[in-house]
Amino acid sequence: MTDILASHLLRPESPGGRSRPPRACDPVVLPVPTIGSMTDQICLLALRERAFLWLIVAMIPALLLTGVLVGAILWLFYAGIGIWGVDWPVVWGFAIINYVWWIAIASGGTFISALFYLAQVEWRTSLNRIAETMTVFAAACAGVYPILHLGRPWLFYWLFPFPNTMTLWPQFRSPLLWDFFAILTYVTSSILFWYFGLIPELATMRDRAATRRKQIIYGSMALGFRGSNRQWRHYHATYGVLAAIMAPLVVSVHSIVGLDFAGAATVGWHSTEFPPFFVFGALLSGFAMVLLLIVPLRRLLSLEAFITGRHLDVLCKMLLVSSLCLAYAYMMDAFSVFYGGESAEKTQFVDKVKGSLAGVYWATILFNVALPQLMWFRRLRMNQTLIMLVSFGVVVGMWCERYTIVVMSLRRTRLPSAWGNFHPTFWDWATLFGTVGLFVFGILLCVRFLPVISMFEMRALLQRRPAQGERL
């Protein structure tokens, strides 16, 4: 069975025998695959008996980092939040930096998956499964931090607005409560949207599984889906409703994250530009992370026929547009500080540009604004190594931006006598890299056992593929 399916692995080749490099003029799907060969190839990737060697090698450090995260959380439960570097006046630190960073990455994946589905963009078909999987695990990593930052995470249920014998109710003006509702809604909706999109794929896997164990597992997860006309009619209607819910939710959730800052009378935060500013950053980091995933996966999983140069070209253009929007937000931030004329705001901004942490601020400008400008050139948009470097730089730059917002604003309050510094500890870094390990491990696990491309949407795309020579 495996040998037969292996013959359908589609890797478009150039006349010299090597894998054909991506081109901006590529169609959404190359002329090579048929509906049958596409289904065989995607099923083979998940049903093969042994995992790829590269996947096993990549899982080892990811699993080790996940273990580091578990150890850091257990030690936090035992020793308390004092093991972190948080102190007066920087009382938020890495917990909120990483929370905002992860939720931004998750939001970018939802933008690709839900909004472009409503817009009926065809190139989304090859990317939505990877983007949705990225969203689920990035949101899970983000959800860890607000609970840990409570100080007594085992009492997290106190955030629920429920009546009790002590008449204790949450403070509805607290950003912590806003985060609770935003994260709970977003994580629940993301998992539901991701899983619902997988149901037809799981049914296909059930029908093609060679062992009884796999048939039972995939069949149970498929929830009895058989592909009847009635089921498809209800499925498409429900999936469209979920997409219509997720599209505005991705904007509202990250706007709430921006309001967490804007609602505080803190130097550098109290600004109405924060909600759109955070949405721009979410799109930029989301597009960068999707590129960071699809560039190696398309090669390692032989998906060049489905993830073509057209996808790379469009995503790089969107990365560029998001970078320009973020550059405008940076300029407006500087303009509003000096136009407003408040001395504390000016002092804080000058410290950001020329102070002891100025390197973090200028790294933000370099990675988020300057580096993506390389994407103006088509030739560079087709250079996969450069795309990886730019995307990785953007992901790092977005983390530096969060560090700038949180630490540099809190360390310079309106009272010079209350100024202080923040020094992250080993446990701060262990928790950060632990969540990175959890994210990578989750992605690799889904790549191993679940379809990486939406087969039912790809079948519809292949059925209406234009004649040879026309561009889809």
Dig out the tokens for 17 from the structure: 């025998």
Q: Is the pLDDT of residue 291 over 80?
A: yes
The whole-model pTM stands at: 0.91
C-alpha 377/C-alpha 366 separation (Å) is: 18
Over pLDDT 90: what percentage of the chain? 50
Residues 6+ apart with CB under 8 A from 33: 10, 41, 305, 306, 462
CA distances to 75, 82, 83, 146, 452 from 427, rounded to whole Å, are 9, 10, 7, 16, 34
In whole numbers, what is the pLDDT of the chain averaged over residues? 87
pLDDT of residue 8: 45
Q: Calculate mean pLDDT across residues 171-182.
A: 76
Q: Calculate mean pLDDT across residues 60-88.
A: 93
pLDDT of residue 470: 43
Q: Is the pLDDT of residue 3 over 50?
A: no
Is 223 within the bounds of a domain? no
C-alpha 130/C-alpha 100 separation (Å) is: 21
Picking from 52-61, 87-96, 398-407, which range would have the lowest pLDDT averaged per residue? Answer: 87-96
Structurally, how many domains does the chain consist of? 1
Picking from 7-21, 315-329, 374-388, which range would have the lowest pLDDT averaged per residue? Answer: 7-21
Is 133 within the bounds of a domain? yes
123-137 per-position pLDDT tens digit: 888 899 999 999 999
Picking from 12-16, 309-313, 336-340, which range would have the lowest pLDDT averaged per residue? Answer: 12-16
pLDDT of residue 398: 95
CB crowding 14-32: b at 16 or more within 10 Å, else e: eeeeeebebebebbbbbee
Ramachandran quadrant class, 454 (left: phi over 0; alpha: psi -120 to 50; beta: rest) = beta
Picking from 1-5, 339-343, 464-468, which range would have the lowest pLDDT averaged per residue? Answer: 1-5
Is 205 within the bounds of a domain? no
> Band of the pLDDT at 19, cuts 50, 70, 90?
low
Is 261 within the bounds of a domain? yes
Beta bridge partners of 13: 19
Is 160 within the bounds of a domain? yes
Is 183 within the bounds of a domain? yes
C-alpha 431/C-alpha 86 separation (Å) is: 14
Is 11 within the bounds of a domain? no
pLDDT of residue 12: 57
Domain ranges, residue 124: 57-191+248-450
Do the beta carbons of residue 268 and residue 411 sit within 8 Å? no
Half-sphere exposure of 312 (CA within 13 A, CB side): 36
User: Cα 389 to chain center, whole Å?
Assistant: 17
pLDDT of residue 26: 85
Is 326 within the bounds of a domain? yes
